[in-house]
Each structure stands twice: as C-alpha cells, then as structure tokens.
Amino acid sequence: MDNTPPVGPHNKRERKSVSFLKDLVKYALTAIIIVVPIRLWVAQPFVVNGSSMDNTFRNGQYLIVDELTYRFREPERGEVVIFRYPKEPSKYFIKRLVGLPGETVMVRDDKVTIRNDQYPDGVLLSEPYAQSRTFGNVTVTLKADEYFVMGDNRVVSSDSRVWGPLPKDDIIGRPIVRLMPLSRMGMLPGAVSTSTIIQETN
C-alpha cells in the first residue's frame, strides 16, 4: 500500500517557488561570470563631466570605454582617451592625444608644432577638432612612456599645458560608443583621420 501523501496545491506552490529561486540564482551567477570580466578588462561606462571637450563631447554624455585596444597597439595622435588624472588618480579625465612618446611639443602663438624623427624641423598640426584658441607658451619633450594631451575646448581645458605629460600607465582606454544622448549615439565618437592633422612643415 502506497503511504505517500497526495500532492496538494500548497506543495505545488512550494516546488514552483524553489524552482524559480534556483533559476534566478543560476541566471544571476551566469550574468556575474559574463559581465564582471567585461567590466574589469574589456569595457566600462564613463560620463563626461565638464566642458573641456566641447563640442565633441558635452557634459553629461554617456560613453562606453574600450579598455582592450591599447593592449594590442599603441595610442595614436588625434585619438580621444580616458585616463586617470596624474595629479589625483581617483579622478578620470577625457582629452585628445596631441603629442606622442619621444616627440617635442611646442604650443605658441595659438599653434601646436611637433618635432620628431620624421619632422626634425617641426610640423604644424591642423587640428580640425579644436573648438577654441590654443592658449599657452609651452615646450615639452616627452619621454618614452609619456603623451601630451589637450581638450578640444582649449580655452577652459586643464591638460598637459597645465599639469604636464600624461604617463602611459594612466591611460584607461578610448570611447568606443556614445549611448546618450540618443540623437548623437554612434560608434567611435570623436575619431578623426590622422592624415587630416598634419598641416605643413615649418
């Protein structure tokens, strides 16, 4: 004789609840396993704060930062990068790369000139992205692991003209997607053709 008690509505509800909780835990663990590594080593969100990159990036815009590309190649002139502020590493800045390792950068008379092995006499940058005058009277020779960065809105930007070169180790990555605002959503925001930057030799 079978003495197993009949399964009533109450027992069915309990079994459904247990099954639901198991599925919920399984999905949560799967999400953590997938999302956390991506968040730590591949991409992360970044919200623009301030006007130093106007009009390329405006205050409050929501970006996704590509942290993977620079593991396989060096940053290039004209690219926009997100980095830890060298003077206060808990803060993150967004600027554009102007000078590369080993080069001499000269800011003078509203112009930026680069001296390197290819252009020992200097080359004037065109900089179609710059939205305001480039104030300053600065000459810096970069070390093998240093970059010179400036904001596109030069009048208000605190950048390498003020606090010096950017160490390579402080670079986090580059903006790969602009999610917000929806009207300006797109891939590789702020990207420019490197060939448009070089203007003329002095």
Q: Are residues 88 and 52 in the same domain?
A: yes
Q: Are residues 28 and 53 in the same domain?
A: no
Give the CATH number of the domain where residue 138 resides: 2.10.109.10
Please identify which of the residues 91, 95, 111, 143 carries the catalytic annotation. 95
Q: Are residues 109 and 143 in the same domain?
A: yes
How would residue 101 be classed by pLDDT, with cut points 50, 70 and 90?
Answer: very high
pLDDT at 15: 62
Examine residue 28 and state whether it is found in any structural domain, yes or no. Answer: yes
pLDDT greater than 50 at residue 86: yes
> b or e along 79-109 (b: 16 or more beta carbons within 10 Å of the residue's beta carbon)?
bbbbbbebeeeeebbbbbbbbbbebbbbbee
Q: Are residues 31 and 124 in the same domain?
A: no
pLDDT greater than 70 at residue 7: no
Q: Are residues 19 and 80 in the same domain?
A: no
Q: Are residues 127 and 166 in the same domain?
A: yes
Examine residue 12 and state whether it is found in any structural domain, yes or no. Answer: yes
Examine residue 90 and state whether it is found in any structural domain, yes or no. Answer: yes
pLDDT greater than 50 at residue 176: yes
Q: Are residues 24 and 108 in the same domain?
A: no
Q: What is the mean pLDDT of residues 22-27?
A: 64
Residue 52 among the catalytic residues: yes
Q: Are residues 146 and 130 in the same domain?
A: yes
Q: Are residues 108 and 58 in the same domain?
A: yes
Q: Are residues 23 and 98 in the same domain?
A: no
Examine residue 1 and state whether it is found in any structural domain, yes or no. Answer: no
pLDDT greater than 90 at residue 143: yes
Instruction: Map residue 47 onto helix, strand or coil.
Output: strand
pLDDT at 36: 46
Which of 201 and 179 is assigned the larger pLDDT? 179
Examine residue 195 and state whether it is found in any structural domain, yes or no. Answer: yes
Please identify which of the residues 52, 87, 111, 193 carries the catalytic annotation. 52
Sign of CA dihedral 60, 86, 98, 171: negative
DSSP 39: I
Q: How many structural domains compose the chain?
A: 2
Q: Are residues 115 and 88 in the same domain?
A: yes
Residues with Cβ within 8 Å of 193's Cβ and at least 6 positions away in sequence, in order, are: 78
CA-nearest of 109, 149, 106 to 129 is: 149
Question: Could you list the residue range(s) of the whole structural domain that residue 152 is in?
Answer: 48-201
Q: Are residues 27 and 127 in the same domain?
A: no
Highest mean pLDDT among 11-25, 59-73, 89-103: 89-103
Predicted TM-score (pTM) of this structure: 0.77
